[in-house]
Structure 1
Amino acid sequence: MTALLTILIVFFVAVAIWQMVKIFDLAQVGASNNQVATDNDNKINGYLMIGFLIFIYVITIISFVYWGDLPLMSNSASEHGPQIDTLMIVSMVIIFIVQTVTQFLLHYFAYKYRGEKGKKALFYADNNLLEAIWTIIPVIVLAGLIIYGLFTWSNIMNIDEDDDPLIIELYAQQFNWKARYGGADNVLGQANVRLINLDNANILGLDEADPNAQDDVITTELHLPVGRPVLFKMRSQDVLHSAYMPHFRAQMNCVPGMITQFGFTPTITTKEMRENPDIIDKVANINKLRVERKEEIEELGQELRYEFDYLLLCNKICGKSHYNMQMKIIVETQEEYDAWMAEQKTFANSLTK
């Protein structure tokens, strides 16, 4: 399939260059051989427009069938995820309908009103009614989508402090993530990049004199209890990063010099998601491909067998190792989370005296 797509791309690039050369020749002022399109030329181009219209529809259908990841989306793992998916589906349906209709009209009219000797296309020099129709309808549709999106966003971002959310800091730096938990009091201690001290393992710049920082827990793996709201506070040490957790439909920029935040409630544990039929199929397909590239994977020192995990990714191109900036997320029961947390060292205990 990749080879076929490459051949098609090369072919269409060659056709485009050929057409550009023809246009350049026609545009030469005072050229001795002025070319004039004949009725037969226009007829051929008219049929080509219909052919290209069919090609657009066929390639769209093929893309949906093979790469559409339908249904949209079956792997949401947060409480607000279905709202995001519904908004996405509504937007895609509207875009698909508009694209289908406008492309048909564009190519059909190019065919119907192709140049023919003695034939003149019907046109309106001015028609206020038509202009009002194709102005008002897009305004109404876009306004509806924007208002719907704003209500969805507002509903997601209005985090109720009465729900006692788990407070976690996501700390971004080229090219890794750190997670900082508020400890027993669920309050994050004060921090500043100017306080980073590698001599005593204060890698996130916590204020060592702040009592709230003493029980903070710093980890390289993100554990979340299922069913409990989580409020993320995000910092960046160096450049602009973006905390992206696709299965939780969550993304927020991490901006140097300021704290941003995003919250959600995880609804499906890692174990439960691994039992999702769609995830099972995807994992099986990935492992099949990895077996075919066994030698290459072993040379990289990676495990041959892939197992699904939620991931925290960077969705901003932040440098040469941006592609590898990720952290595993484990969603588990409250009991499993508590047992894991009990094994972690607090900031006070991790400092090198």
Structure 2
Amino acid sequence: MIKVLFVLVIVVFLAQIVRVFEISSKIKNTKNEVSDSSNNINGIFLLISGIGLLVFFFWQRAEWMDQTLQISASEHGPIIDALWDTTMGLIIVVFLLLTPLLFGVAFYFRGRENRKASYITHNNKLEFFWTAIPAVILLALISYGLNVWGKIVNQDTSDAMVIEVYAKQFGWTARYSGLDNTLGAANVRFVGGTNELGVITENTKDKQIKDLEDKINKLENDLITISSAGKRKLIQQRIEKLQKKKNTLLTYFITTPKENLIAGEDDIVVKELHLPVGKKVLFKFRSQDVIHSAYLPHFRVQMNCVPGTTTQFAFTPTITTKDMKKELDNDAFEYVLLCNKICGNAHYNMQMKVVVETEEEYSNWLSNQTDKKIINL
């Protein structure tokens, strides 16, 4: 951070020097005449700027290259990394070829009193050259990228462990599908109390209906003791609203297939993700409020969480948290799930710890989560 601030200070310093020269010129009333001398000075400054840009590039690469893509910890990670290396490699090669050419040509053909610029409206061959070559390269990159994406999303997920990742401002909640490996039905209208994911089951319906009926009964009792017409009207409106919500919940419950109601009873709701190493996982993403983006950088996973719909992403973790700590020689390391789409003022703090462990460790952890089953909420 200190080095970045140092670079910013230098940029501001140079900008102020330029500004001082401009103000000094106005105070002295000197005419802003173009001459070979001024063109030479500007040309030299431009050339220095180009050299500075290249030096800055190599300095950034030396300082922060290790922060671009950290070690991949998923089966599909290597093909993502290969796509990244190909794309960034091409960009860097083009940058290193064109930047010296751009600044060099600008310096070499700087203005001179005995030189007159040519006026060219167009050049068909040149335009074809600089349009066709980038188009072919981009077509190849896009085709390569689509091929990689196809391999990632078109996986066989029949044996994958199903986990729901639920997003809301500003936190994550995970729902494991239980022994049947099937997530129960859920709807945002059922969100309330301890049922923060809106899972629809017999017991969540009973609890929420009872809660609504208790509120309705209390309001009806208040109607008996209140004589003000205005207050009575407001209470009656609240009763009607609660009754309407009760009818809505009952409608959703009745229209939900029984097998989906039963499937939700053994679902487990937790605030920390645990994954067995080497086991394929199918994440199903939902959002309660705005669009979020679930991002697991070490697993090369990113998927939007969209209100009103479900998205999904399958992958297989390949390195346990313990092994990654050893690999990085960092005992403080943890895998993390982040939100990668600005979703509000606490977006920066929207994250969840992810633990990758052996099958035995995962089974032991899961067996201790029975109190978090939907049926026990």
TM-score range, shorter chain: 0.7 to 0.9
Equivalent residue runs for 1:125-274 within 5 Å: 125-162=121-158, 164-198=159-193, 201-209=194-202, 210-274=261-325
Cα RMSD (Å): 2.2
Which amino acid counterpart does residue 185 of structure 1 have in structure 2? D
Describe the SS at the equivalent of 2:285.
strand
Q: Distance in 2 between matches of 1:189 and 1:330?
A: 24
Determine if the alignment matches structure 1 residue 317 to structure 2 residue 342: yes
Q: Distance in 1 between matches of 2:33 and 2:90?
A: 41
Q: Given that residues 49 and 108 in structure 1 are in contact (C-alpha distance below 8 angstroms), is that contact kept between their aligned partners in structure 2?
A: no
User: Residues 19, 307 of structure 1: CA spacing in aligned structure 2 closer, same or farther, 3 A cutoff?
Assistant: same
Q: Distance in 2 between matches of 1:207 and 1:227?
A: 32
Percentage of matched positions with identical amino acids:
46
Aligned residue in 1 for 2:52: 55
User: Residues 218, 131 of structure 1: CA spacing in aligned structure 2 closer, same or farther, 3 A cutoff?
Assistant: same
Q: Distance in 1 between matches of 2:117 and 2:48?
A: 22
Q: Distance in 2 between matches of 1:125 and 1:217?
A: 69
Aligned residue in 1 for 2:38: 41
Equivalent residue runs for 1:2-21 within 5 Å: 2-14=4-16
Aligned residue in 2 for 1:114: 110
Offset at residue 19 of structure 1 (A):
8.4
Q: Given that residues 78 and 249 in structure 1 are in contact (C-alpha distance below 8 angstroms), is that contact kept between their aligned partners in structure 2?
A: yes
Equivalent residue runs for 1:71-90 within 5 Å: 73-90=69-86
Which amino acid counterpart does residue 59 of structure 2 have in structure 1? I
Residue of 354, 364, 368 corresponding to 1:329: 354
User: Residues 104, 156 of structure 1: CA spacing in aligned structure 2 closer, same or farther, 3 A cutoff?
Assistant: same
User: Residues 248, 16 of structure 1: CA spacing in aligned structure 2 closer, same or farther, 3 A cutoff?
Assistant: farther
Aligned residue in 2 for 1:92: 88
Q: Distance in 2 between matches of 1:160 and 1:260?
A: 16
Which amino acid counterpart does residue 268 of structure 1 have in structure 2? I
Q: Distance in 2 between matches of 1:20 and 1:257?
A: 57
Offset at residue 326 of structure 1 (A):
0.8
Q: Distance in 1 between matches of 2:288 and 2:70?
A: 35
Structure 2 unaligned spans of 5+: 203-260
Q: Given that residues 189 and 214 in structure 1 are in contact (C-alpha distance below 8 angstroms), is that contact kept between their aligned partners in structure 2?
A: yes
Q: Distance in 2 between matches of 1:49 and 1:113?
A: 12
Q: Given that residues 229 and 264 in structure 1 are in contact (C-alpha distance below 8 angstroms), is that contact kept between their aligned partners in structure 2?
A: yes
Q: Given that residues 165 and 173 in structure 2 are in contact (C-alpha distance below 8 angstroms), is that contact kept between their aligned partners in structure 1?
A: yes
Q: Given that residues 157 and 314 in structure 2 are in contact (C-alpha distance below 8 angstroms), is that contact kept between their aligned partners in structure 1?
A: no
Q: Distance in 2 between matches of 1:315 and 1:124?
A: 47
Q: Distance in 1 between matches of 2:153 and 2:198?
A: 28
Q: Given that residues 268 and 374 in structure 2 are in contact (C-alpha distance below 8 angstroms), is that contact kept between their aligned partners in structure 1?
A: no
What is the TM-score normalised by the length of structure 1? 0.83
Aligned residue in 1 for 2:64: 67
Which amino acid counterpart does residue 169 of structure 1 have in structure 2? E
Q: Distance in 1 between matches of 2:24 and 2:103?
A: 22
User: Residues 348, 100 of structure 1: CA spacing in aligned structure 2 closer, same or farther, 3 A cutoff?
Assistant: closer
User: Residues 33, 2 of structure 1: CA spacing in aligned structure 2 closer, same or farther, 3 A cutoff?
Assistant: closer
Q: Distance in 2 between matches of 1:22 and 1:125?
A: 39
Q: Distance in 1 between matches of 2:5 and 2:323?
A: 38
User: Residues 73, 33 of structure 1: CA spacing in aligned structure 2 closer, same or farther, 3 A cutoff?
Assistant: closer
Range moving further from structure 2, 7-16 or 83-92 = 7-16
Structure 1 unaligned spans of 5+: 26-31, 284-305
Which amino acid counterpart does residue 83 of structure 2 have in structure 1? L
User: Residues 22, 137 of structure 1: CA spacing in aligned structure 2 closer, same or farther, 3 A cutoff?
Assistant: farther
Q: Distance in 2 between matches of 1:2 and 1:93?
A: 24
Q: Given that residues 169 and 343 in structure 2 are in contact (C-alpha distance below 8 angstroms), is that contact kept between their aligned partners in structure 1?
A: yes
Q: Given that residues 223 and 331 in structure 1 are in contact (C-alpha distance below 8 angstroms), is that contact kept between their aligned partners in structure 2?
A: yes
Paired residues, what number? Answer: 314
Describe the SS at the equivalent of 1:179.
strand
Which amino acid counterpart does residue 358 of structure 2 have in structure 1? T
What is the TM-score normalised by the length of structure 2? 0.78
Q: Given that residues 157 and 282 in structure 2 are in contact (C-alpha distance below 8 angstroms), is that contact kept between their aligned partners in structure 1?
A: no
Q: Distance in 1 between matches of 2:137 and 2:88?
A: 13
